[in-house]
Chain A
Amino acid sequence: MGRMKIIFNVLKTKIYYILVLCLFIACVEPFELNVITTETILIVDGTIDDSNTDQFINLKKFIPTDNSNSIRYLPETKAKVTIIENGLNVVNCVENTNGYYYLPLGFKAKVGNKYKLRVELADGNIYESSDETMKKTPPITDYTVVFDPKGIKKGENYVPAHLVYVSTKDDAAPGDNYMWTYRLYEKQTVCKTCEGGIFLTSPAPLGKCSTVRSLAEDGVIYDYRCDGNCWEVLYSEELNVMSDALSGGKEIKNRLVAKIPFYQNNGFVVQIKQQNVSAGSFQYLKILGNQSQNNGTLVDSPPAALIGNLKNIKNSTEAVGGYFMVGEAVTKSIWVDRTDTKDAVPIYLMGRAAVYEPANADGSRPPFAPCIKTNTRTPLKPEGWPL
């Protein structure tokens, strides 16, 4: 009996030891790295598909700096941007602002057609992409949403999250490469936040924050409720691509496509977009992902030069950033009511609970703030929202 106790004690000591060890082994912490950039890089960022949304090509130039804290891009303006369909039809893009070149309204790429991007910069340099064929994307056949109290790892801690898995049926022919992205719609109740001041509705329609000295001195922050329904739009932050090399023609089951943090007790809609992209784009995104989000393991591959599909027709060795991508978009909107979160604590959209300006006696304050439609906010009820 005594011996058993000794053995148990030895085991217990070892367990504590391994526990302490695990806390020390392989820890990741922020590092002061002075990145001195040296190359000016032309960036061509554009993906076209068959969706109803606006489609554009973004032209920027990365400007090197020896200040590692800032990343500086300059828009490439006055360029001539065209898309050539099947080597015949030339579609001209129109410059909007800041290097964004929009395709004509209503433009939809068609499955089976080939698209080439041609960019002529103001300085006369001409860049062309390889021909990219728009491939058919199979529908999302099924999905699963699982709540995981430790869904997202942030440093040494975990954030509770809903994990969204989708399934699809891969086409029998080999060479399909899938990319998943998502848009998340969260009910937003706060449409304006004023730091050290209060919100005034004029000038309409945006209103403004007006500084109040006493509030500013005390560092007071006030939030203001939306004047109607409002949704925050958030986008996927991680690259997610997969080839059908191992699933050739069968069902791709339970691909993890989104980790939605437990922002609030309200439900959410996540719109999953699935695209069948070319082998070249897949390779590009895979490397991009490996050296920016899947790294930090003990066995990282050394990052390497990314070669995209655009080339300067006069100087093929010039490094051009970005990839011109084409892929049919298939979307699925999923409503999750978040009733399965049990005792988990939400992390809030703003990272904190709302603090509203206290109501005054006559009820004239606080005012409501308007929900202005932007890339990240919308008053329009998203597809799939139940009520």
Chain B
Amino acid sequence: MKNMKNILLLLLLSLFATKVNAQKFIIISGQVSDSLSNEPLVGANVNLNYGEQNAITDKAGKFNITALKKENIIVVKFVGYKPWRITLNEKNDVKLDIKLFLVSNDLEEVIVSSKNQETNVKRPILGVNSISIKTLNKIPSALGEVDILRGLQMLPGVTSVGEAANGVNIRGGATDQNLILLDDAPIFNPTHMFGLFSAFPSEAVASFDLYKGNVPTRFGGRAAAVLDVSLANPSLDKFKMSGGISMVSNRLKMDIPIIKDRLGISLSGRAAFNDFLLPLVSPKLDNIKAKFGDASSKIFFRVNSKNTLTLSSYGSYDFFQTEILGTINEINSTNTQYKYRTINNTLNWFYAINNNLNFQTKLISSDYSPTTLLPELNVDNKVKIKSGITYKQIKTNLNYFKGKHKLEVGLDAINYLINPGELDPGTNQNITPVFTQHENAYELGAYVQDEIEVSDKFVITAGLRYSHFLNMGPGSYRIYQAGMPRDEVSLLDTAYVNKGQVQKSYGGFEPRVGMRYQLTERRSLKFGYNLMRQYLQVITNTTTPLPTSRWKTSDIYIKPQVSSLYTMGFFQELPDNVYEYSFETYLRQTKNIVDYKPGADFLLQEYPESQLLQGKNKSYGFEFMLSKKKGELTGWINYTYSRSLNKVNEGPTTSQQINQGDWYRANYDRPHSANATVIINQGTHHDFSFNFTYSTGRPFTMPQGYILFQDRSYPFYSLRNNARIPDYHRLDFSWNIYNPSMDPAKRWKGNWNFTVYNLYGRKNAYSVFLKNQGTAIKAYKLTVFGAPILSLAYNFKFQ
């Protein structure tokens, strides 16, 4: 039947052809065989010009196609093999010798796994995720800016409060419960332009790992998760340059070898400074100002065969003026502007004592300083509210590998110097300068961890960390009547602490255990337990922290947050390692989470303990993930059910409780979420990819009645987070075209990236709120990206 169809088609074609030109045909024939065994492949499908004609290989793996003399595309497919394609421009008959590669022999495309080559099934710890930078470059990103934080949100257990979130929520944790490290230095504000872009220099990042289950004992200080981002080492043998231009920013990275194989430097930078031209386009835009940039450098020096030194530096800068972040009521200004910068440095000395033993010491500093600027009416003056964190750390560890053990021991010490806020009135004589008491604190840690291969099937990672926290003088603190709300009424006295004296100390052990039991070669079961202590937190009562939000160390009133996480997982690889799926479930209980009294205000607040309440959080969830790691189509799909609930009940009065002391939903409690990422690799010159994401709308507070003030109605709220905003979903598309010149020998390689974010233009709600408009109260929805957003980026590599 099929042959009949082919013959008919051929007849038709020849009729048509004879009319035009008798010499219009060529014959394409060939043989299809296995690339390794050279065995002919019987029944392989040979397709001409995407369906114009189809042929099936015979017993000898051979086929014959008669085609028009023009550009012809042949695609050969066979189950279990990678598809093969060619574009022909032959004028005469052509014979092809086609070798197909088995998919299972193909190198695994690392899309969702860790940087070491261990597969998820084999790795002894749970809840470690990563996306390779290569994949990240392929999947759609907002506005063409490659973005680690947005990529992470495609993984199970990672959500955010919305598109303008200044951080992510991992397994029911708050944004500040994640430790974000860039070459070991902490990033206090991970985004540019208030959540629109992540602050990592994507060009310079080599890899990143997200630890949301078992966290190695070398990390400490945050309660939920660790995002460990590493900058790429410079090339030591060849000058390389890469960069790009997107609709938003311009990027450039250079690798400069200085002494071949010994010393090299890499420099990278990204900048978006085009806003000053906005008013020229439309006077409507003269109120919008936004600039940002970041830069990084890494120097690598191989001192000798045993010693290396690396120095990583990172800086970022942001400036924006907007009405959408609110303003400061107590200062009369025409506008609100935000300016913040980060400067980080990490010096790492690596000493390989022998093949089994190495020793590393790191000196780390981080400086984060946000400023709010308030320009005044009719005068050339800006009132400034400055704050800052200075972070210094020394960290040393010893790694030992022998037989069935992988042992790591280490020590670290951190000093935090925090300026919670100071008001600089500039030339304004009428505003009193305000200074708040600086905070000085130490966090000390000692840890040990061993990965023991008990048997072929059973591997255990057991670790113990001890952390100790000291809040130091000089300074004063208030003493309140015990059991009463901390306010002016219960204030008894003020106590003083001298320089060098300890105001309050906390400490404790942090056991971390991970176990893997191999059920079969491709199937494993894992268990994990993790305890983490957090002594530094953002205190803000907004849905997502502002870049200027205040960081606060634990003190006599603010107790450290302590989180225990229990996890369990099942991991399965399918034959040929093409597919992998996993189920993970977790329960996390956190003590001393921070929540806020109604109307809490932390701006220049000398006594933050009077504005906040502490309670507990209970988070639990179930995550399913299926990934396809090889072949023409790669990607993953996942579903997460998760809950995050808080309970705050410090005492019997209403001001010591939230929601009458009952459990209530955390701001980022989104029970259902599902993500899918698909990458369709179309040979070496282009690929397509899609992202789809869905999640339950986050909670918001709906009024339970209305009240009057001066004869005007206002909504009356009583129970927090008692309703939900509409569900969120979005589809993105991206198309990458690589090396359009098609010349593989060229040193300059360019590629184009075309992205449509929010393909079907859903107006996803970021928030829902009620607002008094004149005499009426109306409900509104705030949307961040309410339309499909097209972007085009050009990237290049020169090497």
Of chain B, the residue at the smallest CB distance from A153 is B323
Q: A27-B782, A292-B771, A305-B718 are in contact. List 7 more A-B contacts (CB 8 A).
A: A37-B705, A39-B718, A64-B704, A146-B377, A301-B596, A322-B707, A323-B709
CB pair B785 A25 closer than 8 Å = yes
Taking the complex as formed, is B720 at the interface, i.e. its CB lies under 8 A from any CB of chain A? yes
Tell me if A288 counts as interface (CB < 8 A to partner B): yes
Q: Contacting chain B: which of A81-89, A185-193, A201-209, A253-261? A: A253-261
Name the one of A33, A39, A323 contacting B705, with C-beta atoms under 8 angstroms.
A39
Which of A71, A247, A286, A302 makes the CB contact (< 8 A) with B541? A302
* A301:B434 contact, CB within 8 angstroms: no
Check if B798 is an interface residue, CB within 8 A of chain A.
no
Q: Are B707 and A43 in contact (CB under 8 A)?
A: yes
Q: Which of A62, A286, A287 contacts B706 (CB 8 A)?
A: A62
**A298 and B717 form a contact (CB under 8 A):** no
Given contacts A31-B780, A35-B703, A305-B654, contact A297 B325 (CB under 8 A): yes
B194 interface residue per 8 A CB criterion: yes
In residues 778-792 of chain B, which contact A (Cβ within 8 Å)?
778-787, 789, 791
Stretch at the interface among A7-15, A106-114, A210-218, A336-344: A7-15
Can you identify 5 A-B contacts, CB atoms within 8 angstroms? A22-B288, A47-B710, A292-B777, A296-B767, A298-B195
User: Closest Cβ of chain A: how far from B598's Cβ, in Å?
Assistant: 3
Contact indicator A15/B541 (Cβ below 8 Å) = no
Q: Cβ of B717 and Cβ of A246 under 8 Å apart?
A: no
- State in angstroms the CA–CA spacing of A26 and B771 once bound together: 16
Mask for A108-139, Cβ within 8 A of B = 1, else 0? 00000000000000000000000000000000
In the complex with contacts A71-B713, A297-B326, A302-B543 CB distance below 8 A: yes
- Taking a contact as CB atoms under 8 Å apart, the answer to whether B143 and A21 are in contact is yes
CA distance A40 to B785 in the complex (A): 39
A242 CA to B708 CA, complexed, in Å:
21
Which 9 A-B pairs give the minimum distances between C-beta atoms?
A321-B707, A304-B598, A33-B779, A31-B781, A299-B542, A287-B599, A303-B717, A250-B430, A297-B326
Task: State the CA gap A30–B434 with chains docked (Å).
Answer: 40
A287 to B778, alpha carbons, bound, how many Å? 18
Q: Is the CB of B704 within 8 A of A37?
A: yes
Contacts of A246 in B (CB 8 A): 330-331, 423, 431-432, 434, 604
User: Knowing A11-B277, A31-B779, A237-B712 touch, does A242 contact B329 (C-beta < 8 A)?
Assistant: yes
Q: Which of B543, B714, B717 contacts A304 (CB 8 A)?
A: B717
Inside 8 A of B780's CB, which chain A residues have their CB? 28-31, 296
Distance between Cα atoms of A136 and B684 in the complex (Å): 79
Let me know if B769 and A296 touch, CB within 8 A.
yes
For the complex, give the distance between the alpha carbons of A39 and B769 in Å. Answer: 19
List chain A residues, Cβ under 8 A from B275.
18
Contact of B599 among A17, A21, A249, A286 (CB under 8 A): A286
* Cβ of B61 under 8 Å from chain A: no
Give Cα A153–Cα B247 distance, bound, in whole angstroms: 29
Within A249-289, the residues touching B (CB, 8 Å) are: 249-256, 283, 285-288
- CB-defined contacts of B542 to chain A, threshold 8 Å: 299-301
CB distance from B81 to the nearest CB of A (A): 43
Chain B residues 316 to 338 lying within 8 A of chain A, measured CB to CB, are 323-327, 329-332
Q: Inside 8 A of B781's CB, which chain A residues have their CB? A: 28-31
Tell me if A253 and B598 are in contact (CB < 8 A): no
- Collect the chain A residues with CB atoms within 8 Å of residue B378's CB: 144, 254
> Is B715 part of the contact surface with A, judged by Cβ < 8 Å?
yes
Contacts of B429 in A (CB 8 A): 250-251
A: which residues have CB within 8 A of B?
A: 10-11, 13-19, 21-22, 24-33, 35-41, 43, 45, 47, 58, 60, 62, 64, 71, 73, 144, 146, 153, 165, 181, 237-239, 241-243, 245-256, 283, 285-288, 290-307, 317, 319, 321-323
Tell yes or no: B411 within 8 A of A by CB. no
B70-78, B278-286, B304-312, B475-483: which lies at the interface: B278-286
Write the nearest CB–CB distance from B743 to chain A, whole angstroms.
23
Contact with B716, one of A21, A39, A47, A237 (Cβ below 8 angstroms): A39
Cross-chain contact of A11 among B274, B331, B434 (Cβ < 8 A): B274
B783 pairs with A29, CB closer than 8 A: yes
Q: How far is the CB of A6 from chain B (nearest CB, A)?
A: 11
Chain A CB within 8 A of B765 CB: yes
Q: Which of A15, A32, A306 contacts B717 (CB 8 A)?
A: A306
* A302 in contact with B704 given A18-B275, A255-B332, A287-B599 (CB within 8 Å): no
CB within 8 Å for A247 and B431 given contacts A24-B789, A41-B716, A71-B777: yes
Contact A26 B164 (CB under 8 A): yes
The docked-state distance in angstroms from the alpha carbon of A24 to that of B429 is 41
Cβ contact within 8 Å between A251 and B430: yes
Minimum CB–CB distance for B382 against chain A, Å: 14
CA of A237 to CA of B707, assembled, Å: 15
| Structural contact, A292 and B770, CB atoms closer than 8 A | yes
- In this complex, the member of A36, A283, A303 whose beta carbon has the largest number of chain B beta carbons within 10 angstroms is A303
Asked whether A305 and B717 contact (CB < 8 A) given A16-B281, A33-B779, A35-B703, the answer is yes
B763: A residues at CB distance < 8 A = 27, 29
Q: Is the CB of A307 within 8 A of B782?
A: no
Given contacts A16-B281, A27-B783, contact A302 B721 (CB under 8 A): yes
- Point out the residues of chain A lying under 8 angstroms from B245, CB to CB: 10
Contact B701–A302 (Cβ < 8 Å): yes
Contacts of A292 in B (CB 8 A): 714-715, 770-772, 777
Least Cβ–Cβ distance between B279 and chain A, in angstroms: 10
Q: Within 8 Å of chain A (Cβ to Cβ): is B667?
A: yes
Closest chain B residue, CB of each to CB of A375? B711
Chain B residues whose C-beta falls within 8 Å of the C-beta of A64 in the assembled complex: 704-705
Q: Is the CB of B706 within 8 A of A30?
A: no
Contact B708 A299 (CB under 8 A): no
**Chain B residues closer than 8 Å to A62, beta-carbon distance:** 705-707, 716
In angstroms, Cα B771 to Cα A291, docked, is 8
Contacts of A27 in B (CB 8 A): 763, 782-783, 786
Known interface pairs A71-B713, A292-B714, A299-B542; A26-B720 also in contact (CB < 8 Å): no
Please tell me which one of the listed residues B288, B377, B702, B765 contacts residue A165 in the complex, with CB atoms under 8 A apart.
B377
* A148, B771: Cα distance in complex, Å: 24
B288 — nearest CB in chain A belongs to which residue? A22
Write the nearest CB–CB distance from A259 to chain B, whole angstroms: 13
Q: List, in ascending order, chain A residues with CB within 8 A of B708's CB.
A: 43, 45, 58, 60, 73, 321-322
Closest approach, in angstroms, between the C-beta of A50 and any C-beta of chain B? Answer: 17
Chain A residues with CB below 8 A from B598, complex form: 287, 304-307
Q: How far is the CB of A232 from chain B (nearest CB, A)?
A: 15
> How many Å from the CB of B78 to the closest CB on chain A?
45
**Residue contact B701 to A58, C-beta cutoff 8 Å:** no
Give complex CA distance A62, B331 in Å: 36
- Residues in A with CB closer than 8 Å to B541 are 301-302
B327 to chain A, nearest CB (A): 8
State in angstroms the CA–CA spacing of A73 and B728 once bound together: 36
A252 and B707 contacting across the interface, CB-CB below 8 Å: no
A2 to chain B, nearest CB (A): 17
Cβ of B330 and Cβ of A243 under 8 Å apart? yes
Is B766 interfacial (CB-CB < 8 Å)?
yes
Most buried by A among B430, B783, B791: B430
- A29–B779 Cα distance when bound, in Å, is 9
Which single residue of chain A is at the shortest CB-CB distance from B376? A254
Q: Are A24 and B771 in contact (CB under 8 A)?
A: no
The residue of chain B having its C-beta at the shortest distance from the C-beta of A24 within the complex is: B787
In the assembled complex, which residues on chain B have CB atoms less than 8 Å from the CB atom of A321?
A: 705, 707-708, 716
In the complex, the chain A residue whose C-beta lies closest to that of B193 is A25
A10-B245, A254-B377 given; A28·B782 CB < 8 A: yes
Docked CA distance A33–B768 (Å) = 9
Chain B residues with Cβ below 8 Å from A21 are 143, 789
A295 touches B779 (CB 8 A): no
Docked Cα-Cα span, A10 to B282, in Å, equals 18
Measured CA separation A146–B714 after assembly (Å): 30
Closest Cβ of chain A to B285, distance in Å, is 6
Most chain B beta carbons < 10 A, residue from A10, A60, A254, A290: A254
